[in-house]
Every structure is written in C-alpha cells, then in structure tokens.
Amino acid sequence: MMKKLVRSLKRRYPRPGYRHRQQGFTLPLVLGMGLIMIVVALTLLSRSQLDVSTASLQKQTQQAFAVAEGGMARTLGLLNGNYQILLRRTYNPATNTNFNPPRPYLISRAADATKVGQPNTTGLNVPPVNEWTAESLGSDAPPCFTLDNLNTIVLNGTIGSPVQGNYRILSYLYDAPTQTGHLLIEGRLPNNSPANAFILQKMVITDRRVPSNFPGLLAQSINLGNNDVFGTINGNVICTNPANCVVPQSQCVNGQPTQQGLRSAVGALNNATIEGTIAINNIDLPPFPEAPAPVGGSVLGNLPLTPPPSWLPTSQVTDFQQALQAAGGYSQGAYANFPVPGRGNNPPQDSPDITGNTINLTFPRPGDRPYVDPDPNIPFFIPDPLRPGEQIVNPEKVYYAYRINNINLRGNERVAFNTSKYAVRLYVSGNISLSGNAGIDNTCSPESSTCGTGANMGLPKGVGTPDRLRIYGNPPDPNNMRTDQEFTLSGGSTAGSVFVYAPDAKVGINGGSREPDIFGAVWAKTWNGSSSNNAEIKVPDRLPEALGGNYAQASIVVARTTEASNWNRLAQY
C-alpha cells in the first residue's frame, strides 16, 4: 500500500530538473519536423510552379505554331497570286544570327547537293542569295508589279485581329533541277514572348495553263493602233514582254492593271476593238517547226508511193498509201524554186522569190507533191471534228512545203494556194510585202471535206480555213530585240485566211480594206499597227482545235505550288 502511495506521489511531484530535461528534447524535434514540412511544401510549390510554367510555355509554343501555320497559308496565297513570279526565285539571305558570321537558314545545292532545302543547323557556309529584288526581276516583272511593299506584305505579317502573333519568312529556296520550293517560316507571339516555332514546307513548282487564252495576236512588242481583233473566244491580244508593253502607273490599282491600262500597254487607240482579253504574260507556245530540206525544181525530189520510204514504220505503210493516194506520190522536202520568164529567147530562170513575175502563181503546181513528216509519233489521220466517225488527213503529218526567200506583190497581183486536199506551209526566210490590192489567197473546193459549209469556220465558199495555210518565218532570235524580217500588208491588200507564226518578224497592216484583212491568227516578234480603223484580224472560235497538236494547248502559263510533299514542325532551330 505504501509502495503504491510513493509511486503516485513521484508521478505527481517529480524531482527537481526532470521536467526541464523533457521540454529541451521536444523543442528540437518539433522544429525539425516543421523544417522538413517547410522544405516539402517549398519543393511541392516549386514543382507546381514549374509545371504551370511548362504548361504555359507549351501552350504558347502551340500558339506560335498556329501563327506560323497561318503565315504559311497566307504566304502561299500571295506566292500563288500576285507574287507568283517569285516562285522560281530564291530568297536565302545570310540572316541567321545564331552563327558568326550570320548564315542562310537553308542549305542550297551549291553548298551540299545531298541536303538541298534542309535547315542549316551546323553553320554550313551556304552562299547567300536574294533574287526577290527589282534588279533581279528586271524585265520579267509583270505589269503593275512592285516590290516596294515586299517587306510588309510578303516577308512579314501578323495573324488575327487583335494581333495573336507575328510571322516572317526566314528563307525560300528554289531548286531548279528538282523544280521544288522550300519555304521556312517563323511564328512568334506578340509582346516579346519567348515562344516561337518554325514550319518548313517543300512543294513542287509547276506551270498551270490558263484556259481560254489562245493568242489571236501575240508578240513581244505590240502597237495596235486602231486595228481591231475580233473573236469573242480567241480574239485575245497577248504581249509576252512586260518591258515592251508597259502599263502606266496611274492605271495600276492594288497591284493590278486596269483595262484601260492594258489597252495603253499594247498601244490600242480609241477606235481599236478587242473582243477577247488583253494579257501581258509568258505563254507556252508549241516548238517552232524546222523547215524541210529544200528540193530543187517543181518535180525534183518526188517519189512514188511504192516502195514506201525506209524510215516509215511497217505499221504505218497502209495509212501512208491511203493518205497520199490523191497525190500519187510524195516529196522528200520543200520546193524552193519559183521560175520567172527568161529574157528574150532565154529559158525560164530559177528564183527563190515569189513576185508578180513568177510564172505560176497558183499552188500546188502540176507535179508538186506533199511532204510527209517522218516523225512516227504523228499519225496520218485524225478524227474529223465535224463528221463523227470520219477521218481527215492530218495537216501536221502531210502538207505541201515551200521554202521562199521573199514574197513581193503589188497592184492586183495575187498568189493562190489550194488547200482542198492537203494543207500548205510556206517557210519564208526574207520579207513579205503586199501593196495595193495584192494578196495571198487560200482557196478550197466547196466539195472538200475540209472546207464545206460547217468546216470553213464561217468563211465564204471556196475559201480555205487558216489552219490549212500556214506561214512560218525565221526561228526565234533570243539574242536581240531587233526583228530580222518584215511582213507588211499595205494599202488595200489582204492576207486572207492564214495562220502566221514568225517569232523574229515585224508584222503589221498599213491601211486596210477587207473585212477582215486577216482571218486567222498572227504570232510575231513585233506587231506594228496603223492609224486606220478598218484593219482587222478575226480569230475563229475553232482555230486552236483545227491547228491541232501543241497549238491547241497554246495558252498563258503561270507558276503554281502543288500540295506539300514534305512538311515539318520545328520547335527549335
């Protein structure tokens, strides 16, 4: 009992110093636990803030990607629109300041042919190129085109309203061997945000033909005067050199020429009528045909149909004989001799010219035979466009060919070419001069399938269609702007129904009396109009189809991007 009482009193009244020793041990323990809890809390808070910062940065990076994508879409729209001329020119300046000295952003073929269009992340010494300048464009710049606002319209831009971000073109690399464009764009958020993103897109650059732009009158330089060009479908006037067909600056609106500006560029005066469109642009023309080798006289070089020529594929022998049955033979080349009477009792003299003194001004002459193009890819027959199920001899394959130095006719002198059975081609190496009532006639039998009521394109009976009488001048001369030939239709002359393709010639009508003076189309180096308001060219609707081959595809071409063949997001560069 006493022991229990003693233990109870010890608990209730501990000896001196014992309680203080207990309190000294507890305090460090509490402080330590508190410190640990503070460290844990700070760690959790730091990690939480880091997660928030990372999430915010990721969100901003995604927003920067969205800005870059918007910039890519807008830039491609501009390059496929008013700025399409830049698609085949490189903008790859040395502006990447991550290196010293600064380097271009993309690797060009000149630096490494195995890494064309890849990011230049190692500081490779890539030659800087900037062809997006007025000096580089030179005369290739389209009318009203200016690079004055290139920096604010194309190279840089903003997305959204209010502004959600800014983008800029770092590089555009065009690789000619592969015809590919590589476009690198940076997107960045506003207000000095550190978030940015890059998009690199690769695409093939192709040419796209603009339909319904067959050239009725085409030249590198056009002074239309008061001449008329009729044809609601094909009566188009196309100048292929913007440096020669300049639109006045006052006639430029939002970077595009007005209709009056285009008329001024081609020299159309008030009385000139143009039923089609006016364009100042490059155009995809068919290859210029080479004249067949000359044969001497009217019958020299002629061969019978049997045996067939050695170059003729066996599979085409039957077509060859059927196509030339009406001619009874073929010529090995182009006739190049047009005799004139000899003086006194002298026999006729050879001449390379056709003039009023030429003995026979009606072609083909007795004994002339058609020439056959040896290209096995050109068929002998083509479908008759006006008689379903029927065929006609292909004028691209079989035609009478004449190599002529000059054609000089005046007064009432006329030369006639009958195109009823076969087409006719004149390869003129000199000049054509018609004056007075002189003319070149394209005649055709009304019974011929090539010039019946429907086939003759609205021409009077007895007149052949222009696709069947073609005048070719000299080949293009890209070395100078000077014309080396002149085809002039003067006074009351008329060239009748004809297609003229003379890329090194100056062609024009000085005065006029027929309606029209030319029924067909004229492709030349220079068109020199007149002040007469009755000089006319009428371009039939069916002419491209009738010319056939690549002629039917002749139209304005513009550069365009295709769908992206490679597209990369780059969070860092």
Model confidence band, residue 299 (pLDDT cutoffs 50, 70, 90): very low
Average pLDDT over residues 360-369: 94
For residues 474 and 538, give the distance between their C-alpha atoms in angstroms, rounded to a whole number.
24
Is the previous residue joined to 308 through a cis bond, with omega within 30 degrees of 0?
no
Tens-digit pLDDT profile for residues 144-160:
888 887 888 899 999 98
Query: Among 272-276, 296-300, 343-347, 381-385, whose mean pLDDT is lowest?
Result: 296-300
Q: Which residues partner with 399 through β-bridges?
A: 371, 423
The pairing of strands 278-280 and 236-239 is: parallel
Q: Which helix (H) or strand (E) holds 8?
A: helix 2-12
What would the DSSP string read from start to end of 239-253? ES-TTTSPPPGGGEE
In the chain, the N- to C-terminal Cα span, in Å, equals 90
Please say if the pLDDT value at position 473 is more than 50: yes
The pLDDT of residue 513 is 58
Phi, then psi, of 112 in degrees rounded to 5: -160, 105
Structure token pair of residue 271: 């009385």
Q: Which residues partner with 228 through β-bridges?
A: 536
Phi, then psi, of 8 in degrees rounded to 5: -65, -40
Please say if the pLDDT value at position 1 is more than 70: no
Tens-digit pLDDT profile for residues 99-109:
999 999 999 99
The pLDDT of residue 511 is 65
What would the DSSP string read from start to end of 414-472? EEEEE-SSSEEEEEESS-EEE-TT-EEEEE--TTSTTSSTTTTTTPPTTB--GGGEEEE
Please say if the pLDDT value at position 552 is more than 70: yes
Distances (CA, A) of 136 to 87, 152, 260: 13, 19, 28
Using an 8 Å Cβ cutoff, are 399 and 370 in contact? yes
For residues 91 and 174, give the distance between their C-alpha atoms in angstroms, rounded to a whole number.
8
Please say if the pLDDT value at position 453 is more than 60: no
The pLDDT of residue 548 is 84
Using an 8 Å Cβ cutoff, are 376 and 313 in contact? yes
The pLDDT of residue 10 is 58
Please say if the pLDDT value at position 454 is more than 80: no
For the chain, the residue count is: 573
**Residue keyed to tokens 């001799």:** 337
Mean pLDDT is highest, among 69-83, 171-185, 239-253, for: 171-185
Q: Which helix (H) or strand (E) holds 10?
A: helix 2-12
Angle at 542 between CA 454 and CA 468, to 5 degrees: 80
Structure token pair of residue 262: 């285009």
For residues 451 and 444, give the distance between their C-alpha atoms in angstroms, rounded to a whole number.
6
Indicate the average pLDDT of the chain. 85
**Which residues 6+ apart lie within 8 Å of 102 measured at CB?**
94, 95, 96
Model confidence band, residue 378 (pLDDT cutoffs 50, 70, 90): very high
The pLDDT of residue 390 is 86
Using an 8 Å Cβ cutoff, are 223 and 239 in contact? no
Structure token pair of residue 87: 């698609």
Distances (CA, A) of 407 to 223, 245, 355, 471, 552: 24, 30, 6, 11, 28
For residues 567 and 247, give the distance between their C-alpha atoms in angstroms, rounded to a whole number.
39
Tens-digit pLDDT profile for residues 104-133:
999 999 999 999 999 999 999 999 999 999
Please say if the pLDDT value at position 466 is more than 80: yes
Model confidence band, residue 76 (pLDDT cutoffs 50, 70, 90): very high
Model confidence band, residue 32 (pLDDT cutoffs 50, 70, 90): confident
Average pLDDT over residues 544-566: 80
Model confidence band, residue 344 (pLDDT cutoffs 50, 70, 90): confident
Query: Among 9-13, 31-35, 137-141, 352-356, whose mean pLDDT is lowest?
Result: 9-13
